[in-house]
Amino acid sequence: MSDCIFCKIIKGDIPSTNVFRDKQVTAFRDISPSAPTHILLVPNRHIDSINMLTGEDEQLMGHLFTVASQLAMQENVAENGYRLIVNTGSHGGQTVPHIHLHLLGGAPMKHPMG
């Protein structure tokens, strides 16, 4: 999608602080972090939201979560814990129409959510 900010980041048209990239996933630091560690993980292929997933996307989504786990270890937040968030739709807080996973850590998370 040509006007998608995450697609532009993936293509390198918008600068970002990348922490991971392979053929399927790109991960970069959030420019407005909500925690000491706040990384966004996005599929390199544009998918608007969780609602657009099909059975063919199962491997990709599994890979996204595996990369999140690896990054949590790399960022030294795995042992104490971290939060993974996927927002879907306007009521779910999704502001960019491209599936993305937030990895938040480095401090105790606050409750309640929502």
Instruction: Please tell me which residue in 38, 46, 98, 100 is annotated as part of the active site.
Output: 100
Is 38 one of the annotated active-site residues of the chain? no
DSSP structure string for 28-68: EE-SS-SSSEEEEEEESS----GGG--GGGHHHHHHHHHHH
CB 6, CB 42: distance < 8 Å: yes
DSSP structure string for 11-29: HTSS---EEEE-SSEEEEE
Please name every residue paired with 25 in a beta bridge, in sequence order, or none if there are none.
43
Task: For residue 103, give the nearest of 44, 7, 46, 37 by alpha carbon.
Answer: 37
Q: Give the catalytic positions in this structure.
A: 100
